Structure 1
Amino acid sequence: MDVIKTEQEFKEQAARSSSLVVVHFLAEWAPQCSQVTDALIELKNDPQCAKANVQFIQVEAEDVPEVSMHYEIEAVPTVILLRQGKAVDRINGVKILEMTEKVRQNAGNNSVIMPTKKAEPKEKLEDRLKRLINSHEVMLFIKGEPDAPRCGFSKTIVGLLKDRNVAFGTFDILTDNEVRQGLKTYSDWQLYPQVYVNGELIGGLDIVKELIENDEFEDTFPKQVPLEERLKILVNKSRVMLFMKGDRTGPKCGFSRQAIDMMNKTGIEYETFDILTDEDVRQGLKDFSEYRTYPQLYVSGELVGGLDIMKEMESAGELIDAVKES
């Protein structure tokens, strides 16, 4: 069974297919997913499915958050049945018989597209821009991502900051036209990239180059600290810290959304860190905490655990005691 690792792969193999596509959203840490995988392998060899050219693919839900968010994956295993990228049915959890029947039923016919949920009220743009600008000490708005810039100016400024060991977060303006256009007015700066330090606009690539030429760069940008020291600072930034994909107002995967929902129910103040904006933190925290998946919850600098642990604690009525001040 094909395993999808990127949003682009998903679009090519699933979103554009006119035949039925069975998508299994799973996670390494959830052993029940293997039961669904085994059942889907049998279905793949089913004569009815083979005749209808049904495609079967798997998606690591946490590794492709854009796809998981689009199809509102909030738990694993979840199986979505698609035609031309549109969901025609879904099966939540380990329901082998129901899944088998639905796949066979949909194999040879066009089903009614499932209605989507009503969109939740959007955060005000100005508030969102302030939050993004202040999400990291140094915040860089570019086209693309640090490891894959999508214009020469973005590539150059990323290189300049990396060469000088500056720790920075990023936001890909190509993914959100509202931010892309709104930031021009908010900052009165029409070009990209844009770099901010402590919430204040420094400027674009030309300004950064001038700072370097005039030996003013080090006075403007904070000095880099070793990653381990930086991680210690981050896990202690607030008494309760949640490291996740996205943030509390815009989680970018179903697992992060579930963690946010649980934390909000406790009524306890907490802060979040978006690991998608900082690859060093995203990878480094796995070794630092010896915990490989996200989200990760810390209290007073100590790891409580991930989503599975949070769920167990909530079910046992222990989560609120774990996060409240003693």
Structure 2
Amino acid sequence: MAGLISVKSVEDFGKEVDQTVSGLLVVHFRAQWAPQCEQMDGVMVELAKEHTQVRFSTVEAEELPEISKQYSIAAVPTFILIKGKNEVDRLDGANVPELTKKVKHHADPNASPVMLPASSQPPKEDLNTKLKGLINAAPCVLFVKGSRQEPRCGFSRTLMGLLDERKIDYSTFDILGDEEVRQGLKKYSDWPTYPQVYVNGELIGGLDIIKELDASGELDQSLPKKQDLDDRLKALITRSPVMLFMKGSPGEPKCGFSRTITSILTGTGLKYDTFDILQDQEVRQGLKTYSNWPTFPQLYVSGELVGGLDIVKELQESGELASMLE
């Protein structure tokens, strides 16, 4: 849509935020399956015509969960207003008059932030708690500049290249996308530079340490090896007798199909386990090929694919669902 910038990556979003030093950015966290998001995109286009000095962008909340988590996006549509790289206001829901009012207020270069009622503001997570959560997010976590696909410094590129060559299983966090984490982790770990490598929540060190471990032959024993994807998928599929691969979680589904299927399964009163495919691109893409089923959610019973929402609905309507899950 004219007037709207579609953010496609964490790096793109960082560039958008960088430009808020001298102006206002309005971000629409949206989803393809929500019709109200399409309507609000049209509203954003009209606002962009009126406020030519303001930048307007859209983020697919499900496709870029890192950004959604950073701004505590719990539902779509949600609008975040950013100035000077900081969130100055937000709006949850498709409220055209309120969005228009907020944009008009913050488009004024002398405007002060609008303080939301305390009850509507997402609680600010303690920094140490946040850092502990990030460090323990996977058995091996790299805090780097950029991403696997687009490293933003030579040290990060060299480190990830070395670990990929040794088939080390790791996840990454882009410290360029979160200044609070970037500065806080230096003090938390008492390690002033990046990249930083953590294993089982403990700091291993930076590139030089990893190179030393590799040269001494200790790297394979110190860091977890990558599991074959098919073996990993088999393990996930059979993790529980009833296994659902969905977007989000039963308590916070991130798409309408996932919301509906969890409602149906919960209604049976039987236990089932879930896996959030938005948190793992390797599983998300690999499972499509493994199961020869191109969409999500996917339901497995005793390691066998049952199907998606349509199949589950048919089984529910025929009265066969409960007996199959048992």
Shorter-chain-normalised TM-score: which range? Answer: 0.5 to 0.7
1:208 aligned residue: 210
**SS of 1:228 mapped into structure 2:** helix
1:25 aligned residue: 29
Alpha-carbon distance in 2 for matches of 1:184, 1:214: 24
1:114 aligned residue: 116
List gaps (5 residues or longer) in structure 2: none
For the structure 1 residues 200 and 34, does the alpha-carbon distance in structure 2 shift closer, same or farther, using more than 3 Å as the test? closer
Q: 2:185 aligns with which of 165, 180, 188?
A: 180
- The RMSD of aligned alpha carbons is 5.3
2:165 aligned residue: 163
Alpha-carbon distance in 2 for matches of 1:199, 1:275: 23
Mean Cα displacement is larger for which, 150-159 or 101-110?
101-110
**SS of 2:116 mapped into structure 1:** coil
For the structure 1 residues 8 and 227, does the alpha-carbon distance in structure 2 shift closer, same or farther, using more than 3 Å as the test? same
Alpha-carbon shift at residue 10 of structure 1 (Å): 3.5
1:230 aligned residue: 232
Alpha-carbon shift at residue 168 of structure 1 (Å): 2.0
Alpha-carbon distance in 2 for matches of 1:102, 1:126: 34
Alpha-carbon distance in 1 for matches of 2:203, 2:219: 14
Alpha-carbon distance in 1 for matches of 2:32, 2:247: 17
For the structure 1 residues 179 and 236, does the alpha-carbon distance in structure 2 shift closer, same or farther, using more than 3 Å as the test? farther
For the structure 1 residues 271 and 183, does the alpha-carbon distance in structure 2 shift closer, same or farther, using more than 3 Å as the test? farther
Alpha-carbon shift at residue 159 of structure 1 (Å): 0.9
1:153 aligned residue: 155
For the structure 1 residues 195 and 40, does the alpha-carbon distance in structure 2 shift closer, same or farther, using more than 3 Å as the test? closer
For the structure 1 residues 299 and 151, does the alpha-carbon distance in structure 2 shift closer, same or farther, using more than 3 Å as the test? farther
* Percent pairwise identity: 33
**SS of 2:38 mapped into structure 1:** helix
Q: Does the alignment pair 1:80 with 2:84?
A: no
For the structure 1 residues 303 and 15, does the alpha-carbon distance in structure 2 shift closer, same or farther, using more than 3 Å as the test? farther
Alpha-carbon shift at residue 274 of structure 1 (Å): 7.9
**SS of 1:63 mapped into structure 2:** coil
1:51-94 Cα shifts (integer Å, max 9, x gaps): 55376543222234455345543333x253747453365543xx
For the structure 1 residues 115 and 228, does the alpha-carbon distance in structure 2 shift closer, same or farther, using more than 3 Å as the test? same
Alpha-carbon shift at residue 162 of structure 1 (Å): 0.6
- Residues 17, 82 of structure 2: 8 Å contact kept: no
Alpha-carbon distance in 1 for matches of 2:272, 2:126: 19
Alpha-carbon distance in 1 for matches of 2:219, 2:72: 44
Aligned residues: 290
2:142 aligned residue: 141
Alpha-carbon distance in 2 for matches of 1:125, 1:298: 38
Alpha-carbon distance in 2 for matches of 1:15, 1:267: 52
Alpha-carbon distance in 2 for matches of 1:281, 1:179: 31
For the structure 1 residues 164 and 66, does the alpha-carbon distance in structure 2 shift closer, same or farther, using more than 3 Å as the test? closer
For the structure 1 residues 132 and 65, does the alpha-carbon distance in structure 2 shift closer, same or farther, using more than 3 Å as the test? closer
1:234-259 Cα shifts (integer Å, max 9, x gaps): 343455576767x999x9x976xx97
1:170-195 Cα shifts (integer Å, max 9, x gaps): 3445642587247627xxx7875224
For the structure 1 residues 35 and 270, does the alpha-carbon distance in structure 2 shift closer, same or farther, using more than 3 Å as the test? same
Alpha-carbon distance in 2 for matches of 1:70, 1:217: 32
For the structure 1 residues 167 and 37, does the alpha-carbon distance in structure 2 shift closer, same or farther, using more than 3 Å as the test? same
**SS of 1:25 mapped into structure 2:** strand
**SS of 1:170 mapped into structure 2:** strand
- Residues 247, 254 of structure 2: 8 Å contact kept: no
1:233-289 Cα shifts (integer Å, max 9, x gaps): 2343455576767x999x9x976xx97x9899999685766855x553454345445
Alpha-carbon shift at residue 304 of structure 1 (Å): 8.1
List gaps (5 residues or longer) in structure 1: 93-97
Alpha-carbon distance in 1 for matches of 2:127, 2:104: 45
Alpha-carbon distance in 2 for matches of 1:298, 1:172: 34
Amino acid at match of 1:25: F
Q: TM-score, normalised by structure 2?
A: 0.59
1:7 aligned residue: 13
For the structure 1 residues 157 and 292, does the alpha-carbon distance in structure 2 shift closer, same or farther, using more than 3 Å as the test? farther
